Amino acid sequence: FSIYAYKEAFVFLNFGMGAAASLVGAAIIMLVGWLLYVGLTYATEVSR
């Protein structure tokens, strides 16, 4: 996502699309992090 966002914003001068791509990428990274947190929390609670 970061290379696509960079190209859209600074190569093609399409700042709106670059910002949107950055936000989508950040949202996906946050979702994956949250899923890992929940999964690992559950796994450690079950193993006790």
Which of 2, 3, 7, 9 lies closest to 28 in space, CA to CA? 2
Q: For residue range 1-48, what is the model confidence (pLDDT) as tens digits?
A: 899 999 999 999 999 999 999 999 999 999 999 999 999 999 999 877
CB 5 within 8 A of CB 27: no
pLDDT value at residue 6? 97
pLDDT value at residue 27? 98
pLDDT value at residue 1? 80
Q: What is the rounded distance in angstroms from the CA atom of residue 7 to the CA atom of residue 40?
A: 36
Strands (E), the chain: none
Tell me the longest C-alpha to C-alpha distance in the chain: 54
Q: Which two tokens stand for residue 2?
A: 């970061």
